[in-house]
Structure formats: structure tokens, C-alpha cells
Amino acid sequence: MKGHIYFLGIGGTLMGSLAQLAQEVGYRVTGSDNAIYPPMSDLLADAGIEVYEGFDPKQLDPEPDLVVIGNAGLPRGHEAVEYILERGMRYTSGAEWLGDAILHGRWVLAVAGTHGKTTTASMLAWILDHAGLNPGYLIGGAPLNFSGSARVGETPFFVVEADEYDTSYFDRRSKFVHYRPRTVILNNLEFDHADIFEDIGEIQTQFHHLLRTVPSGGLIVAPSQDDHVTEVLQLGCWAPVARVGESAPRKTVDQDTGELWTADGENHTFDVKLNGETAGSITWNLLGRHNQHNALNAIAAARHAGVPVENAIEALSQFRGVKRRLEVLHQDPNLVIYDDFAHHPTAIRSTLEGLRREVGSDDILAVVEPRTHTMSLGTLRHELTTCCAAADRVIWFRGENIKWDLTEVTQNCVVPAKMFDDHAALADALVGERANYSDNKRLHIVIMSNGAFGGIYQMLLDRL
């Protein structure tokens, strides 16, 4: 046994995955959080890691060899943080521990961007695994092709979901600057995390810092039509750039290789093309153009690591997706209920558009909890009024964290909208919808939240 590491904030997607890695490399691992919910609670339980809900000083007696402090809800003044500082315990951030203890000396493939990080990282890890490369990975979710969200792996390759959120209360840099990747995917870039960034320019500065860590023999995979990403590239990059999109980039940089990956097809089957030449076809169960672009990003990155394109295509035809990404919770002749981790208006729009192409004239009811810091502050309220256009109706749920009046979005929404603030009443209303549909026309209810949504999922299943 290497020693004892205590993870403060272990229920978060990054921290819970780090805890699994620490246990795998030989540490005794314990940890605590205010609340721990699926899928991370299930993953930690399956790993046999001892966790506590709520902090008690007894959890740190005897004193652990190291405390890894998360960044979610752990500022100065927090009881646990003050206890650790007052006693002079060794501590570090999750991202720094990962960079030093796991990633140092490895070929790191980092997946960054506002949307699609979890799905793309899962695809990339699966491609490398299918090719026999047995990579390590750390993914902020539960990829269905693997038994856990993290593993150390047995080769130099390591896939990491690279988040731009700040590292900790004592390190305000983005987490991903600690990872020092050789291969980087920049999926996209929009304004988010309004609680720590003033504007898109501040986020772009952090992404520029990430690109400063990529060696000249590395590779940057970037969208061809995302001006925010191209502006980051124009701030300076020192590695070749491959592009993913519908056409050649509107703006170029000196490091552009001329390599352009495109997709041709709809939903379940599409061709993968490199510079206009078809490299193969993917058939899978995922929906939406956004997932096709995620696939192209993963294929381009895997190719840089030595995986032939045809092998990557074969792997993705067996890709099962990620838990809580349009995951079916219930299905009967009249009703389908989905759980989706949508965290931003663009993600909501992409998911609903993909589902609309799949279900045709069936009714879609979107149920959205604007739970992220950015949405709870009302920063993107205008975008929320239009992001559900592919649905027939929308229900907005106002949780206790909402700092503004959702009535404004309800009234201005481009589709008929209602608002709820009680979980049980919402569950009753959703179950009651089933009576209005027959075998000839189904209702598809998409529940969209990046949290536990007050247990609404189990409430619905119990009532059904």
C-alpha cells in the first residue's frame, strides 16, 4: 500500500474518477462530499471506495498522507478546508495530482471544449482500446463500453477529459493546464461558466494557455467553422492543426495542415471522409450531427496515436454511448422517457434536433432544469428561449439555485412552455401525459439536467 489519500469533494465527476485511479495504483482511498449521486455514487461503490456524505474531522484521523481538494463548493471558510489548513496537512488539487502522479511521461490525449467532451473522450478511449492499445483514461461520466469512468492502463496512452473550469480555491487556472497533452481535441468553444469567467475572451485565454503546453510534434484537432476556436489558434500554436467540419475553415492559421474531416449521412449511418475521400462508414445508435463531429474528432486524434482510420471506424460502429446522454429510462407503446445531461443551450438544441430527425412527427416534450452556474445566473436566458425549437413543448423547472425569474423564458419561448417548482407535482404531470397518446403517436419526454433533479427519475419510474 502506497499510503492514504483523502479526496475532499469525491462525488464530482473528476474527483470520483481520480479516486478510482488512486486506488488502482495502490493507495488506500477515502473521501467525502455534501451529496453523492449516480452515476458517480454507483461507480465508487462498485470500486469499494469508502465515502462519506458530509465532513467530519474523524474522517482525517489518523491523518492521511495527502488530501486532494476539489473545486466544487470548497472555498476558504469551508469547515473541511479550514481544518486541513489549520493542521498543516499536505494537500493538492485534483488536476495537479492527476498531472503529477498519473500523466507525467505519458502520451496524453486531451479532449477540451464547451460541449461533447465526455462523449468524445469515451469514443477516443474506446477506439484505442479496440485497437489493442489498452489506454488509461479519465472520463467525466460513465462510458457504456467500459466498466468504470477511469483506469490507469498499461501503455503510454492516456485519454483525459480536459475541463476549462478553474482548478481549486488556491489555483484559479483551468484544470487542463496541468495535463500537458501531446494530442488535443478542441471540440468547440462558447461562453460558459459565468461564475468564474467575465466573457468569452477570458475563456479563450485559458485555451491559449493549454495550446502553449502542446509540443511541436503533437496535434491539435479543431473545428473548421468555430471562429472562437480559430481565434485561439491565432493567438499562437506550435503544433499542426487538423480540422473537422462541413467545409474548409473560414479563417486559417499557419499550422493548418489542410487535413479536413467531414461526415456525410444522417443519424444512424454516415460516411467518414478525409479531404473528400470516403474512408469508411459508421453505423451506430447515436443521434445528431454533433455526435458525428465527435466521432470525427476521435478518429483524427486516434490516427495521430497510430490507429488506422478503418480500425477506428470499426470501433465506433460498436460504440454504445455514455450514460445520461439521451439514455432511455422508460419505454412503452405510448411513451419514451430519456435522461440527458444537457448543460448549455447549444447542447439542448443539438440533442433535440437529433431526436426530432429520429422520431419524425411524434411529440417531443423537453423538461429542462437550468442548473449549471451559467444558466442559474440567467446569463444565457435569451438562448434558452430558442434552444427547444425542435420540441413541441417545454417545461422549465425552477430549482432553489435559480437566481432569476424563469417566467421571462416561459413567456418568450418559441414553443408552448410551462414552469414547475415542485418535483412531485412535475412527476405527476409527466405521467399524466401518457393518457393523451395512442399506439399511432408517441410522446418522447426528454429530461435535461446535469444534476440529480431532485430524484425526479425515480419518482417517474415509481409512478409508471
CA–CA distance from 365 to each of 112, 301, 337 (Å)?
Answer: 30, 36, 10
By CB neighbour count within 10 A (0-12 exposed, 13-18 middle, 19+ buried), where does 124 fall? Answer: buried
Q: How large is the average pLDDT for residues 223-234?
A: 95
Cell of 397: 423547472
Q: What is the mean pLDDT of the chain?
A: 91
* pLDDT tens-place string over residues 15-68: 998 999 999 999 999 999 998 877 788 889 988 999 999 999 999 999 999 999
**3-state class of 7 per DSSP?**
strand
**Choice among 76-80, 279-283, 433-437, 441-445 with the minimum mean pLDDT:** 433-437
Count, residues in the chain: 464
DSSP string, 259-317: EEEEEEEETTEEEEEETTEEEEEEE-S--SHHHHHHHHHHHHHHHHTT--HHHHHHHHT
How would residue 464 be classed by pLDDT, with cut points 50, 70 and 90?
A: confident
How would residue 375 be classed by pLDDT, with cut points 50, 70 and 90?
A: low
Is residue 203 pLDDT above 90, yes or no? Answer: yes
Calculate the CA 436 to chain-centre distance: 35
Q: How large is the average pLDDT for residues 339-360?
A: 86
Distance CA 28, CA 231 (A): 44
Tell me the angle at which helices 289-304 and 117-130 cross, rounded to the nearest 10 degrees. 50
Is residue 374 pLDDT above 60, yes or no? Answer: no
Closest by alpha carbon to 126, among 253, 315, 273? 315
Is residue 240 pLDDT above 80, yes or no? Answer: yes
Distance CA 90, CA 347 (A): 39
CA–CA distance from 147 to each of 126, 162, 423 (Å)?
Answer: 12, 21, 31
Give me the domains of the chain, ranges plus CATH numbers.
4-93 (3.40.50.720), 105-316 (3.40.1190.10), 327-463 (3.90.190.20)
Q: What is the pLDDT of residue 439?
A: 72
Q: What is the pLDDT of residue 101?
A: 95
Q: What percent of the chain shows pLDDT beyond 90?
A: 66
Instruction: Write phi, then psi, for 456 (nearest 5 degrees).
Output: -60, -30
Is residue 450 pLDDT above 60, yes or no? Answer: yes
* pLDDT tens-place string over residues 264-310: 998 789 999 999 999 999 999 898 888 999 999 999 999 999 999 99
Instruction: List CB contacts of 277: < 8 A, sequence separation 6 or more.
Output: none
Distance CA 242, CA 256 (A): 6
Q: How large is the average pLDDT for residues 100-128?
A: 95
* pLDDT tens-place string over residues 401-419: 777 778 888 888 999 999 9
